[in-house]
């Protein structure tokens, strides 16, 4: 038992499970890299104001879940609870939007932090891969991102996820809907905090998961009935483009997502094998966020996919990812001279890109061969004093159990041929 444990609501990612997480990250990143998205990394913490303004004062994320602290220098900082505001801040600070090519297309991968009640699939630190397309208002861009996420999930072998799609309108039609929704909510039997939330951002109440609240929302006005013609046409084009690409989606008139900055297109990826925490990812268009954080008007769209949630979804479907072997060759030296000779061969094999490991710690043959077995290596090379005197090493095929001597000078080429 160690003196220290990981903080509550967090987890350590260890081999062999960590290989699955890496494979998921890579599968999500691949279609993005193929579509003009460049990689961006931002700090793990930012000024509190960035999230208060960007994510929204009324959101649970800002009011309850943010890890905020004051530094010794008196700065008010917060661990990042999501990625979009940071990426947009970085793009604005570096003037990427002035470099010519809009949209600026960026993807990122990292850890995010929210002080939540820990439960299966919901941690206080979690991993996401996200993508943002900054500076263009084009339904094809919204469609592109949804199609790329669909492609990423399918490349992993996921089948039982659903894509929910909605439009949240824009600054022309949303205020009319907002007023109608507020009127409706004022007539309900809601607690004080929920009523206060309804005054700041009534759409947040629609996202309330409590059954007693949901029951009262059955007859709530629906945003779709309030969309202006421009928003209707925009949404229709997004739907047509996704449909033409063969991506199956469901219209969900009640989908709002948990962040205040969304406008128009909003979407969520859900997996029914995950129970209560069914969302594996989501996103949408956020045309006003740049101005909210002090930048120029830069209509943008993006998403974030949860790596932890995607791994849970893979388990729920029983999908085993074909993971690359960690070790292909395992070298077992018997004696001092063999240690020197085989260590040089290991270095040579590694330079050729062959995954090779070595029996460290001077174990005997039996213990070293057990390690070779555990490593999953396809071949073991064993050498003792007698082998070296004859200028050979023993090459053992770990699958078939066959073993044969191979010349010391030929062993590297022989393994390259066999593993090539």
- The first and second tokens of residue 161, run together, are 């996820």
Whether residues 22 and 161 share a domain: the answer is: yes
Query: Containing domain of residue 247, as a range?
Result: 17-173+227-316
Q: Is 280 helix (H, G, I), strand (E, B) or coil?
A: strand
Based on the domain organization, do 387 and 288 belong to the same domain? Answer: no
Identify whether the C-beta of residue 282 lies closer than 8 Å to the C-beta of residue 166.
no
Q: Which CATH number goes with the domain that contains 391?
A: 3.40.50.800
Same-domain pairing of 57 and 103: yes
Same domain, 77 and 164: yes
Name the domain boundary from 316, 349, 375: 316
Q: Quick one: which H or E segment has residue 45? A: strand 45-47
* Residue 282, strand partner residues: 268, 304
pLDDT for position 75: 95
Domain identity same for 404 and 258? no
Last residue of a domain, one of 316, 339, 354: 316
Backbone angles phi, psi at 391, to 5 degrees: 75, 25
List strands edge to edge, sheet with 279-285: 38-39, 104-113, 125-134, 300-306, 279-285, 263-271, 161-167, 250-251
What is the distance between the alpha carbons of residues 87 and 143, in angstroms, rounded to a whole number?
21
Question: Domain tally for the chain?
Answer: 2
DSSP code string of 378-420: SEEEEE-HHHHHTTEEEEEETTT--EEEEETTTHHHHHHHHH-
Contact between residue 129 and residue 15 where contact means Cβ atoms under 8 Å apart: no
Q: Are residues 169 and 71 in the same domain?
A: yes
173: its two tokens:
């039609």
Residues 277 and 363 in one domain: no
SS3 content of the chain, % helix, strand, coil (to 5): 40, 20, 40
The answer as to whether 79 is a domain residue is: yes
The b-or-e profile of 141-161 (16+ CB within 10 A means b, else e) is bbbbbbbbbbbbbeebebeeb
- For residue 238, tell me if it sits in a domain: yes
Strands 356-358 and 379-383, sheet pairing: unpaired
Phi-psi region of 397 (alpha: psi -120 to 50; beta: other; left: phi over 0): beta
pTM of the model as a whole: 0.89
Q: Which helix (H) or strand (E) holds 336?
A: helix 336-351
User: DSSP 3-state assignment of 163?
Assistant: strand
Q: Tell me the pLDDT of the chain (420 aa) as tens digits.
A: 568 999 999 999 998 899 999 999 999 999 999 999 999 999 999 999 998 887 776 667 777 789 999 999 999 999 999 999 999 999 999 999 998 789 999 999 999 999 988 777 688 999 999 999 999 999 999 999 999 999 999 999 999 999 999 999 998 888 898 899 899 998 888 888 888 888 887 887 887 878 888 888 888 998 889 999 999 999 999 999 999 999 999 999 888 765 667 889 999 999 988 876 689 999 999 998 999 999 999 999 999 999 999 999 999 999 999 887 889 999 999 999 999 999 999 999 999 999 999 999 988 999 999 999 999 999 999 999 999 999 999 999 999 999 999 999 999 999 999 998
Residues 249 and 117 in one domain: yes
Sign (positive or negative) of CA dihedral 264, 265, 269, 272 = positive
Domain membership of residue 267 (yes or no) is yes
How confident is the model at residue 323, as a pLDDT? 85
At 1 the pLDDT is 57
User: Would 1 be classed as within a structural domain?
Assistant: no
- For residue 158, is it within any domain? yes
388 and 250 in one domain? Answer: no
Q: Sign of dihedral through CA atoms 31, 33, 37, 41?
A: positive
pLDDT of residue 227: 94
Here the CATH number for the domain that contains residue 74 is: 3.30.930.10
In the three-class reduction of DSSP (H, G, I as helix; E, B as strand; rest coil), residue 50 is classed as helix
In this structure, the answer to whether residues 33 and 145 fall within a common structural domain is yes
**Count of C-beta atoms within a 10 Å radius of residue 346:** 18
Q: Are residues 292 and 360 in the same domain?
A: no
Phi, psi (deg, nearest 5) at residue 99:
-75, 0
What is the predicted pLDDT for the residue at 207? 77
Lookup: tokens for 187: 């007539």
In this structure, the answer to whether residues 333 and 311 fall within a common structural domain is no
Q: Which of 265, 294, 316 lies at the terminal end of a domain, its last residue?
A: 316
């Amino acid at each position: 038992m160690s003196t220290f444990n990981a903080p509550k609501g967090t987890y350590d990612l260890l081999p062999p499970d960590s290989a699955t997480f890496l494979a998921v990250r890579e599968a999500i990143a691949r279609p993005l890299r193929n579509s003009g998205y460049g990689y961006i990394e931002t700090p793990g913490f930012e000024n509190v104001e960035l999230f208060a303004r960007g994510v929204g004062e009324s959101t649970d994320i800002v009011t309850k879940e943010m890890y905020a602290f004051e530094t010794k220098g008196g700065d008010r900082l917060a661990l990042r609870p999501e990625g979009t505001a940071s990426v947009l801040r970085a793009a604005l600070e570096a003037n990427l939007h002035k470099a010519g090519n809009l949209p600026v297309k960026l993807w990122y991968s990292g850890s995010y932090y929210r002080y939540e009640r820990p439960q299966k699939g919901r941690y206080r630190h979690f991993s996401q891969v996200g993508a943002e397309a900054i500076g263009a208002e084009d339904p094809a861009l919204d469609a592109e991102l949804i199609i790329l996420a669909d492609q990423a999930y399918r490349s992993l072998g996921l089948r039982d996820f659903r894509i929910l799609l909605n439009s949240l309108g824009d600054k022309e039609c949303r205020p009319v809907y907002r007023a109608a929704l507020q009127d409706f909510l004022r007539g309900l039997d809601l607690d004080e905090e929920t009523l206060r939330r309804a005054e700041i951002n009534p759409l947040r109440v629609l996202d309330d998961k409590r059954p007693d609240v949901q029951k009262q929302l059955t007859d709530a006005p629906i945003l779709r009935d309030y969309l202006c013609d421009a928003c209707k046409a925009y949404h229709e084009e997004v739907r047509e483009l996704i449909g033409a690409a063969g991506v199956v989606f469901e219209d969900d008139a009640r989908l709002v997502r948990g962040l205040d900055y969304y406008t128009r297109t909003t979407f969520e990826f859900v997996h029914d094998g995950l129970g209560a925490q069914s969302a594996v990812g989501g996103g949408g268009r956020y045309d006003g966020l740049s101005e909210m954080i002090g930048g120029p008007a830069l209509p943008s769209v993006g998403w974030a996919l949860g790596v932890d949630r995607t791994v849970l979804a893979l388990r729920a479907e029983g999908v085993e990812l074909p993971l690359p072997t960690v070790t292909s060759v395992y070298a077992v030296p018997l004696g001092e001279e063999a240690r020197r000779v085989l260590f040089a061969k290991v270095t040579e094999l590694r330079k050729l890109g062959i995954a090779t490991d070595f029996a460290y710690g001077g174990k005997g043959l039996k213990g070293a061969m057990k390690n070779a077995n555990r490593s999953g290596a396809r071949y073991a090379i064993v050498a003792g004093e007698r082998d070296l005197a004859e200028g050979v090493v023993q090459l053992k095929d770990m699958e078939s159990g066959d073993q044969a001597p191979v010349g010391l000078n030929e062993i590297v080429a022989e393994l390259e041929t066999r593993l090539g």
